Amino acid sequence: MNTNSNVYTIVYTTLIVVVAAAILSIAAMALKPKQQANIKAETISQMLTAAGFSSKEDLGKLGNDKVLEMYSENIKTAFLIDAQGNKTGELETEVTGIELQDNLKLENKNIASGNPSLPVYVFEKDGEDINVIPCYGAGLWGPIWGYIAFNADCSEIVGAYFDHESETPGLGAKIKDEAWFREQFKGKAVDFAHPDNPFGIIKGGAPKEDRSKIDAITGATMTCNGLDAALDTWFKAYMPFLEKKAAAAAEDDDCCCEEGCEDGCCEDGEGHQHEHHHHHNHQEG
Amino acid sequence: MNEDLKKTLLNPIFKGNPITVLVLGICSSLAVTVQLKGAFVMALSVIIVTGLSSLVVSLLRNSIPNRVRIIVQLVVVALMVILVDQVLKAYAYAIDKQLSVYIGLIITNCIVMGRIEAFALGNKPIPSLLDGLANGAGYGMILIIVAFFRELLGSGTLFGLRVLPASYVPNNLVILPPMALIILGCIVWVQRSIQKDLQEK
């Protein structure tokens, strides 16, 4: 046969492309459930790590099913909020049908357009609520994202976990790899007084007494700037919700005192408010 | 015949190594050699892709229209690469994430196309498969040697386990791509001092 004729060439290439496409579609369809389960378990283990239930390495060894179980056992509620911080819908948390709002890229766009649907995952650990929220932004080479865990009244960050698609290994990738970087977030807080810059990752070292600033990573300036911008954007978007949480907690304390409950409670409330007040002053100062 | 097969299998490992002698596949060897684990999976993926692509192209070699042979080869290589990527995503998700774009970039790895053009188009399927596997292995071997030095000196670890004392200050230069090129240069230097016939006059 003349393998150089036009007809042969066209038929041959068409055939090759169709066969290749068929093989790929079958492979993609067959592997898709497993791949999506991996992505879901990955997202959940990032949240669990941020909330302090386990470490990412340990969760990686557990396997997908155990990770989903752990999530389902420890989560109290998961819901969506709008730009004003009002609840707009619930997310399923039963192990059989866990729902996540994991299209962070889309929500990042929605934040910019002022109409986001943001997830809040409320875990329960040692009797206390932990509120986990995501963030998303641009690193140096590709997207970066992560999860930040707050205490019950959202006055303090209790943990964080970050991930990236293609930051430089050994430099920008340290936002994920270096435990000390994530540890810095513990005990920090969102600066409600500065909604446009509620958090800072500072090159050259953050002032120790500033509760909403942490040190950047040497050699990873662009990635850290990207993460800083991502946190600012998302914290700002969540701020109505975070402030409501803080206000509700303060109100609870007041109620308790008015009703004349036991001494311990009152002192607790006052002490807490005092601390909060002090914190506020400092931020303005 | 057996002697030929043996030569096909062993030549690309040392004497005709695709990276140090043919100088193919340099870019990915700079990118994925920061850590041994990544280099290892990358090596394995390339071995599978070079082997299977050479096999398939060799099976098709008498039917491929000469004018579009590069395009047909590309379709075969791309098919293999995407399959490897999809399988990794399903069964080795963590490592696939770490290698990210570089798995996809195996398509552009000159070794794959180079071996198809130079060998698989003119040889029977079994020798082509072996040639592909061996060239992938030759590539992988260099990758692992470079990654060994870069992870050891750049992070003080091997396969993620700390081997140098904590007092060792990691050398950040080793992590950057230029250092991979320098280590590669050293390997070429060592090979050329052993294998005198490679030295240019």
pLDDT in tens, A1-23: 677 889 999 999 999 999 999 99
Return the higher-pLDDT residue of A60 and A202.
Answer: A202
Name the pLDDT band for A275 (thresholds 50, 70, 90): very low
Q: Which of A20, A38, A169 sits opposite B93 (nearest CB)?
A: A38
Length of chain B: 201
> Looking at residue A75, what is its pLDDT?
92
Report pLDDT digits (tens) over A152-186.
999 999 999 999 988 887 788 889 988 899 999 99
Tokens of B194: 């052993």
Say yes or no: A219 contacts chain B, CB-CB below 8 A: yes
With bands split at pLDDT 50, 70 and 90, how would you rate the model's confidence at A262?
Answer: very low
**A82, A215, A78: which is closest to A147 by C-alpha?**
A78
Q: Reply yes or no on whether the pLDDT at B190 is more than 80.
A: yes
Q: Given a cut of 80, is residue A256 above it in pLDDT?
A: no
Three-state SS string over A58-119 comes to: HHHHHCHHHHHHHHHHHEEEEEEECCCCCEEEEECCCHHHCCCCCCHHHHHHHHHHCCCCEE
- Under the banding of pLDDT at 50, 70 and 90, the label for residue A254 is low
Nearest to B100 among A34, A35, A165 (CB): A165
- Residue B175, chain A, CB below 8 Å: the answer is yes
> Which candidate from B35, B89, B93 shows the least CB-CB separation from A169?
B35
Residue to test with chain A: of B93, B149, B152, B161, most A Cβ within 10 A: B93
Above 80 in pLDDT, residue A266?
A: no
CB interface of B with A, residues 140-169, below 8 Å: 154-155
Q: Which of A5, A11, A31 to mutate to test the interface with B (most CBs of B within 10 A)?
A: A31
User: What share of chain A in percent tops pLDDT 70?
Assistant: 88
Inter-chain touch B89–A3, beta carbons under 8 Å: no
Inform me whether the pLDDT recorded for A263 exceeds 80.
no
Q: What is the torsional sign of CA B98, B101, B102, B107?
A: positive
Instruction: Examine the pLDDT at B116 and tell me if it is beyond 50.
Output: yes
Chain B residue whose CA is closest to A166: B100
Structure confidence by residue, pLDDT tens digits, A102-160: 889 999 999 999 899 999 999 999 989 999 999 999 999 899 999 999 999 999 999 99
Q: Please spell the DSSP secondary structure of B165-201, one letter per residue.
A: -TT----HHHHSHHHHHHHHHHHHHHHHHHSGGGS--
Chain A residues inside the 8 Å CB shell of B57: none
Mean pLDDT, rounded, of chain A: 85
Contact B49/B77 with Cβ under 8 angstroms?
yes
In chain A, where the domains are located: 40-250
pLDDT at B172 over 70: yes
Question: Helix, strand, or coil here: A260?
Answer: coil
- A199 phi/psi in degrees, rounded to 5: -150, 150
Q: Residue B118 is which amino acid?
A: A
What pTM was estimated for this model as a whole?
0.74
Whether residues A20 and B75 touch (CB distance < 8 A) is answered with: yes
> Are the CB atoms for B115 and B131 separated by under 8 Å?
yes
Give me the interface pTM, i.e. the ipTM.
0.79
Number of other residues whose CB lies within 10 A of the CB of residue A4: 11
Instruction: For residue B84, give the chain A residue with the closest CA.
Output: A27
Task: Please name the residue that has the structure tokens 């999506």.
Answer: A36
The label of the residue with tokens 């053009």 reads B117
Q: How close A31 gets to chain B, by Cα (Å)?
A: 6
Q: How confident is the model at residue A45 (pLDDT cuts 50, 70, 90)?
A: very high
Cβ-nearest to B79 among A8, A13, A20: A20
Residue A262, by phi and psi: left (phi above 0), alpha (psi -120 to 50) or beta? beta
Q: Identify the residue with better confidence: A171 or A275.
A: A171
Q: How confident is the model at residue A283 (pLDDT cuts 50, 70, 90)?
A: very low
B4-52 pLDDT, tens digit each: 888 888 888 888 888 888 888 887 788 788 888 888 988 999 999 999 9
pLDDT tens-digit readout, A189-204: 999 899 889 999 998 8
> Do residues B40 and B160 make contact, with C-beta atoms less than 8 angstroms apart?
no
At residue B198, the pLDDT reads 78
